[in-house]
Amino acid sequence: MASLTPGSLLGGGKYVIVKELNRGGSAVVMEAVQTTTGRRVALKVVQPPADRLPGAVRTHQREVAAAAALSSSGVIAALLAEFTEPGMLVTVWELVDGMDLLDYLNSRGGVLAEAEAAPLFAQLVHGIRLIHEAGLVHRDVKGENVMLEAGTGRIKIIDFGLSKRQQSAVTLGVGTIDYMPPELLGTSGDFSVLKHRQTASYDGCAVDVWASGVLLYLFSTGAYPFENPLCPQNVVETLKNIARCAYRPLPERLSPALQDLLQRMLCPDPAQRIALEQVAAHPWLAAHGAAAASTGATASPAAAPSSPVSSAAAAAGQAMETEAEAPLPASYAAPTPATFSFGTHVECKPTPQMVPAAPAVPAAPATPPALGAAVQLPASPSTPDAAAARHGFLGAFTSCWFSRT
């Protein structure tokens, strides 16, 4: 198996490992340099055990296909290439210099003023609308999966490992617990969907709306809406609160418009939950000059993937179209129970560029930025607060890629 230690080469010598950026239950993300151009990139490396190889391949295929479908949207980190090493599935991504929204929230004291939260949230809504207009759902919207780019203030949505075509999203119990809506918990009352795969029909777009509402609640209050403050580490208590939609009372300091938006996004009935288009035009965003018009559908669900990466994903079992078990292509078969080698390398043809080392980033401005205005991000906190630490515990099975500055 190839090494991930600094200085190691991957992809036939095309990438040299620099350092580890992040690690989750399913993947490790490494900063690397493309040896032919000097470009800094992020490598997401999945090393599944042999018994989990089929599921890992399908997740890999979904992520590649989703990135290909959204390649022109400008709201996701760009997928540059994919390849395999013995025992590894590797995707190569644009390295986003900045921090994720959870780190940004912590750097601002744990709570954002409404005037600061609104422009960021408007960008998030715009990005998710583009995902939906491409016929996809994300299913793991959360602060750690949204990057805030240093110097520009633009957000980029990452980690499409749970993304699906809207019509084929049927698996319950997916995502991160704090952001999971009631309809994904099943009807048994015992939360067995988190242990054993179960399926049911649901609206994946409404799932993303709910998760976005949880994130807005976190921005505005500094707390997760469904955790029990007396035992915040108790996952079962959180699940019980989600099932009955018992979120913490909204602080009186929040404006009536923001309270209305949160209540409509956290509606337990997905059929009555506010649609994302209505969120974009909500008076709360308009009051802060952040209401969004039509997205313009820059990503088309009807457009056929044309890049080498997306073509490879389409040929590998159409993983975006079904959640059912499917036979693996021969190129993905494991030769032995202990080790496997895929032996493929597919690469897009981005314009080569030299990316200089990221400069030091000064402290955040005292006044909130306007939508689309340049933002200089503060350094990531060296010690995450209790909420961030707990969230990392609950969401350890997902991963993201970013460069901390």
Cα–Cα distance between 94 and 29 in angstroms, integer?
12
Q: Is 178 a catalytic residue?
A: no
Q: CA-based angle 18:377:45, to the nearest 5?
A: 30
Catalytic residue (choose from 100, 103, 140, 208): 140
Residue 129 phi/psi, 5° resolution?
A: -60, -40
β-sheet bridge partners, residue 343? none
Is 159 labelled as part of a ligand binding site? Answer: yes
Q: In this structure, what token pair is assigned to residue 387? A: 């909420």
Q: Which region, left, alpha or beta, applies to residue 52 given φ > 0 means left and ψ of -120 to 50 means alpha?
A: alpha
208 and 138 in contact (C-beta within 8 Å)?
yes
In 3D, which of 100, 61, 30, 84 has the Cα closest to residue 326?
A: 61
280 and 122 in contact (C-beta within 8 Å)?
yes
Is 145 labelled as part of a ligand binding site? Answer: yes
Is 349 labelled as part of a ligand binding site? Answer: no
Is 100 labelled as part of a ligand binding site? Answer: no
Radius of gyration of the chain (CA): 20
Please give the positions annotated as active site. Answer: 140
> What residues are designated binding site for ATP?
44, 144-145, 159
> What residues are designated binding site?
44, 144-145, 159
